[in-house]
Amino acid sequence: MYDIKALYEAHSVEEAVRLRVEHPEAQIIAGGSDVLVQIREGKRAGAELISIYLMDELRGISLDEAENIRIGSLTCFTSITNDPIIQKYINVLGEAVDQVGGPQIRNIGTIGGNTCNGVTSADSASTLFAWDAVIELTGPEGVRRIPIQQFYLRAGKVDIRPGEIQTAILIPKASYENCYGHYIKYAMRNAMDIATLGCSVNVRLSPDKRTVERARIAYGVAGPVPLRASTAEAVAQGQAPSLALADRFAKAVLEDIHPRDSWRAAKDFREHIAVETARRAFLESVRLAGGELA
Amino acid sequence: MSKSVGQSKLRVDAYDKVTGRAEYTDDLCAPDALIARIVHSTIAHGMVTGVDTAQAESVPGVVKVLTCFDVPDRPFPTAGHPWSTDPHHQDVADRLLLNRHVRYYGDDVAVVIAENEVAATQAARLVKVTYEEYPFVLDAQEAMGFDGPPIHEERPDNILAHTQIRRGDYETARQEPGLIRVEGWYDTPTVQHCHIENHICYASMEKGRITVVSSTQIPHIIRRVCGQALGIPWGKVRIVKPYIGGGFGNKQDALYEPLCAWLTTQVGGRTVKIDCAREETFVNNRVRHAIRTHIISYVRPDGTLAARKFECFSNQGAYASHGHSIAAKGMGAFPQLYPCDNIEADAYTVYTNRPVAGAMRGYGIPQAMWAGECHLDDIARKLGRDPVEYRRQIVMPQGYTDAFSKNCNYYDTFNQVMDKGMAAIGYEEKRKAYANQTGPIRRGIGMALFWYNTAVWPISLESSSCRMVLNQDGSVQVQTGETEIGQGCDTAYAQMAADAIGIPFEDVHIVSTQDTDVTPFGTGAYASRQTYIGGFSIQQTGQMLKDRILTYAVELTRQTRANLDLVDGQIVRTSDGQVLMSLGELATEALYSLSHSQHLTAESTYQIKNNAYSFGCTFAEVEVDIPLCKVKLLNIVNVHDCGRLINPALAEAQVHGGMSMGIGYGLSEQLLFDPKTGRALNNNLLDYKLSTFMDHPHLQALFVENPEPTSPYGTKALGEPPACSPAPAIRSAILNATGVAVNQTPMTPHVLFRAFREAGLFQEGETAHV
């Protein structure tokens, strides 16, 4: 039995925005795999809820005219993993969200909820950071699009303004074209776990596969919100892929990450894992891109 | 003759359980029951100075708020042991229903009773408790002589108990020239049982008596404890135990039944339900004792043991519960598994401000095997010997008899189980293949033995009682005081009963529910006792019923009793094998006869004054990813000699479950506490890393079936043994792979990170392409 004060159900974006304006204190609920847990824990006990779960228009993945990928915010993890567009252009995202919880959670949990919850450990977030995703929000004033790095304000807090809901996550064509990536979720279990550290790397190689044109790397749980390791990216850019480059790339992440000491894991341990996962994810990305190590 | 025993009969409750038709405590509770929510202390040690209930009482739906100032001042024991009529052997009575002196973070201070769960939860958050805080201590050794108010006034040094074993002359023996000294400290964590169904109970009153329906392993013991806690005659309490979703020892304790029984008396006998949240199951039920063990062995160059010292410090937590029994059982294995003439052993059980430790699958043996088997590997390594080959030299030999329990190692079990395990996992080839590895990813193979003994004789009572009633159609109801807790004893009992009476398995109707008003007395599910112990009374009672049936058959068939037998539900003339009539025909006649109507039943108690060893081993193969500090379990094999298998499929399932628990114990499970407050940090199933089946390889269960001579069915313990040896076997495999001996379990990546870094293993891995 959940301590819920009221539940308002929206059937369209318009209705959701109206409910948001009418009930500014109400919490948005999508699949509920975060919100219901928080209510049970007492953190949001007695809350009013606006459910957007019935809004099928926010489900599904498509390419727009400019071939940008558009992921509806209510698309569940299972659907993302199984989607042909995702598999063709950004398979790593499908692999990453396939590591969330267990099958039941992946059927109910949505990518919009995963990002709006604002936690650093979200399995989708580091890959979305590493692929320069754009967050689309719709509110009383219309549509607003911002880079995902600006969407995360601080731990547990994202930039959703009064009256707004998140409606889509976009991956621009320039961001995914010819890119290949790999995500390593480092957790204590092989299922039903949150990441101790999440590392997502992707590379774009030159047509002859001999040069790293662009390398991007993002982490979850290496700071209060997901973050990019730009020093490492700069180290790899324009270089020939090699084991030695992988080592330099990996060690450079220490310039940018700042994991904390907590009872869940120590800082020095997280740093150690961050370096090793960066190295492995880089090498795997190069391999997926068809590169050979010099 | 034997038709059912030994076959993999389908569980008698299989269809009901997989379809969701089986009814558990919460399914049976009336929907209008009052809901009780417990207010737990937010300090680890201190005295409650006041409880302000005004705000809580104003929440709509709240019926009553009761506090530690309201409960009877009558300390009671909770351990699920058979009661001892000798006051010196009775369990320690050291807690009240709610406690003013709070002794761990989460102790029970007050209760809100409300019309529904939301109101109860809201109100519980509004109860304001004020405390006088005392210093607290979480570590057993630090608690011994801790400078602060004692956790229980009766034990100023916080030591609940200290016992010792002395054999030969350790001090003199260790002076022998040329001895090799091996010493180690071995740590085990606080873990929890994590049964699927949280503890739940509800209580109500009728005709001045209290009925408690509870998810428990031990209904008859719970009846006694409720009577003691409330100060009422035990017969005024009735306990009903329906199907339960696992217990693993947590429910071998009076948990919230006494409190629930008292609550119903405070609300005019209305039904009150206490349904633990998972967070409460971790902290407010029972946990496994964290035990730190120190072992010193003096070994001759030829491997023989000259002298050995053993000390263990068992973290009891805040209340006595099963207390010293756990550490004592663990210590008891030490002189037996690897006999040595000169032994000095000491076990201490110490109160701390942690959650209460009680019974948990293995009852001290997983901790003792962790320490003892890790240490054996350390000796073998120092001697340059193979772990298996070395164990063969010094392990308890065939024919060994323990002076106290009179248990005898009738067979060459240890060598047999090792042979079988080695062959199954390919031990010798892999041991060779994995020598001298380099690189970041390495494989290893290892093993551990375990010692276990069935049941509790001669420390405590062992008896079982059984009732059988013949139905009109020749089928038979069977009742025992022993409880089905998911392990499958109802099915094993039905098989035994079928053979004892001489009827088909399908004609046995086992009564799964125990109701202390009608069920024969039995102490319940613990100590891996039930299949062994229950077998005695089932066999005896089955014989009695059969005898009564055949005596009645004499009247109907005009044959001599000596020539009659009951075989597969038929009355048979043994002289020529002629089937004279079916049992169904006889039963109908017996109940409806106008000349001689008779209700054919049998009921008996069998007191067992024997016990049985139940030994085995684990072999494990791992792949260690050194840079990622991760262990992947590639293969794991348990081999058990639990006597004859009553039901091979159920036996295998039992071993799978125990291996899974052992894997978690070795690699991932640990309840963590905040050193600043004493609060449990990860008392939920996300942060407490119970392993999933994604973390397991195929679990291979093998058996050596040496029939146990003292059992009518040749059987002995299998419930707890499978959880005893996986952890040290995994440690042995990691040691084989990396050369790093880890002395604390669980061997998590956090632990391995420090161990590998200290061993200098990280440099070489860094440039290899993994």
Instruction: Please provide the average confidence, as pLDDT, over all residues in chain B.
Output: 97
Q: Is the peptide bond before B726 cis (omega within 30 degrees of 0)?
A: no
pTM, 2 dp: 0.97
Query: What six digits make up the tokens of A257?
Result: 């990450």
B167 closest CA partner among B367, B339, B408, B399: B339
B616 closest CA partner among B731, B457, B447: B447
B105 closest CA partner among B308, B259, B282: B282
> Band of the pLDDT at B463, cuts 50, 70, 90?
very high
Our CA-based measurement puts residue B667 at a distance from the nearest CA of chain A, in whole angstroms, of 9
Nearest beta carbon to residue A191 from set B125, B685, B692: B692
CATH, domain A180-288, list 3.40.50.2300, 3.90.1300.10, 3.30.390.50, 3.30.70.260: 3.30.390.50
Cβ-proximal residues to B237 (8 Å cutoff; 6+ apart), any chain: B209, B210, B211, B212, B223, B226, B227, B230, B261, B516
Please list, residue by residue across A136-160, b when 16 or more beta carbons sit within 10 angstroms of its beta carbon and e when fewer do.
bbbbeeeeeeeebbebbeeeeebeb
With the C-alpha atoms ordered B65, B67, B73, B79, is the resulting torsion angle positive or negative?
positive
Q: Residue B694 gets which letter from DSSP?
A: G
Check B694 against A269: CB less than 8 A apart.
no
* Number of cross-chain residue pairs from A and B with Cβ atoms under 8 Å apart: 65
Q: Which of B679, B694, B748, B758 to mutate to test the interface with A (most CBs of A within 10 A)?
A: B694
Asked if B501 and B542 count as a contact pair (C-beta separation under 8 A), the reply is yes
pLDDT confidence of residue B756: 98
Q: Which residues of A touch B681 (CB under 8 A)?
A: 263
**B766 inside 8 A of chain A by CB:** yes
Residue B766 above 60 pLDDT?
no
Residue of A nearest to B125 (CA): A42
Residue B561 above 60 pLDDT?
yes
Query: What six digits make up the tokens of B520?
Result: 């024969």
Check B749 against A188: CB less than 8 A apart.
yes
| Dist CA B213 CA B201 (whole Å) | 5
Range 94-133 of B in CB contact (< 8 A) with A: 116-118, 121-122, 125
Conformational region of residue B14, where left means phi above 0, alpha means psi within -120 to 50, and beta covers everything else: alpha
Mind listing the pLDDT tens digit for each residue in B80-99?
A: 999 999 998 999 999 999 99
| Dist CA B539 CA B204 (whole Å) | 37
Instruction: Give yes or no on whether B32-134+193-284 and B400-456+611-770 have one common fold.
Output: no
Residue B213 above 80 pLDDT?
yes
Q: Which residues of A touch B756 (CB under 8 A)?
A: none
Query: What six digits make up the tokens of A82?
Result: 């199984």
Q: Which of A39, A104, A182, A193 to mutate to test the interface with B (most CBs of B within 10 A)?
A: A193
Residue B768 above 80 pLDDT?
no
Q: Which residues of A touch B672 (CB under 8 A)?
A: 263
pLDDT confidence of residue B770: 47
With the C-alpha atoms ordered B512, B514, B518, B523, is the resulting torsion angle positive or negative?
positive
Q: Specify the residue for token string 């990396």.
A: B738
| Dist CA B333 CA B336 (whole Å) | 5
Nearest beta carbon to residue A247 from set B125, B749, B767: B767
What phi and psi, each to the nearest 5 degrees, are found at residue B592?
-110, 5
Q: Which residues of chain A have pLDDT under 50?
A: none
> Band of the pLDDT at B626, cuts 50, 70, 90?
very high
Average of per-residue pLDDT across B213-220: 98
pLDDT confidence of residue B634: 98
Residue B396 above 50 pLDDT?
yes
Chain A residues in contact with chain B using a Cβ-Cβ cutoff of 8 Å: 1-3, 42, 45-46, 186, 188-194, 196, 243-244, 247, 263-266, 269, 272-273, 276-277, 279-280, 283, 293
Asked if A93 and A128 count as a contact pair (C-beta separation under 8 A), the reply is yes
Instruction: Give yes or no on whether A56-174 and A180-288 have one common fold.
Output: no
B463-607 CATH fold:
Aldehyde Oxidoreductase; domain 4 (3.30.365)
Average of per-residue pLDDT across B113-123: 97
What is the CATH class of B32-134+193-284? alpha beta
Please list, residue by residue across A234-243, b when 16 or more beta carbons sit within 10 angstroms of its beta carbon and e when fewer do.
ebbeebbbbe
pLDDT confidence of residue B763: 73
Our CA-based measurement puts residue A40 at a distance from the nearest CA of chain B, in whole angstroms, of 10
Residue B299 above 60 pLDDT?
yes
Mind listing the pLDDT tens digit for each residue in B420-450?
A: 999 999 999 999 999 999 999 999 999 999 9
Domains of chain B, by residue range, sit at 32-134+193-284, 400-456+611-770, 463-607
Nearest beta carbon to residue A280 from set B121, B629, B770: B770
B400-456+611-770 domain in CATH 3.40.50.300? no
Our CA-based measurement puts residue A2 at a distance from the nearest CA of chain B, in whole angstroms, of 7
Mind listing the pLDDT tens digit for each residue in B665-694?
A: 999 999 999 999 999 999 999 999 999 989
| More confidently predicted of B770 and A130 | A130
pLDDT confidence of residue B145: 86
pLDDT confidence of residue B2: 59
Q: What is the CATH number of domain A4-51?
A: 3.30.43.10
| Dist CA A77 CA A98 (whole Å) | 7
Range 125-184 of B in CB contact (< 8 A) with A: 125
Q: Which residues of B touch A196 (CB under 8 A)?
A: 749
Residue B717 above 80 pLDDT?
yes
Q: What is the 3-state secondary structure (H, E, C) of A218-286?
A: EEECCCCCCEECHHHHHHHCCCCCCHHHHHHHHHHHHHCCCCCCECCECHHHHHHHHHHHHHHHHHHHH
Check A193 against B686: CB less than 8 A apart.
yes
Mind listing the pLDDT tens digit for each residue in B579-618?
A: 999 999 999 999 999 999 999 999 999 999 999 999 999 9
pLDDT confidence of residue B434: 98
> Band of the pLDDT at B765, cuts 50, 70, 90?
very low
Residue of A nearest to B766 (CA): A247
Residue B1 above 90 pLDDT?
no
Domains of chain A, by residue range, sit at 4-51, 56-174, 180-288
Check A247 against B753: CB less than 8 A apart.
no
Nearest beta carbon to residue A189 from set B116, B692, B766: B692
**B400 inside 8 A of chain A by CB:** no
A56-174 CATH fold:
3.30.465
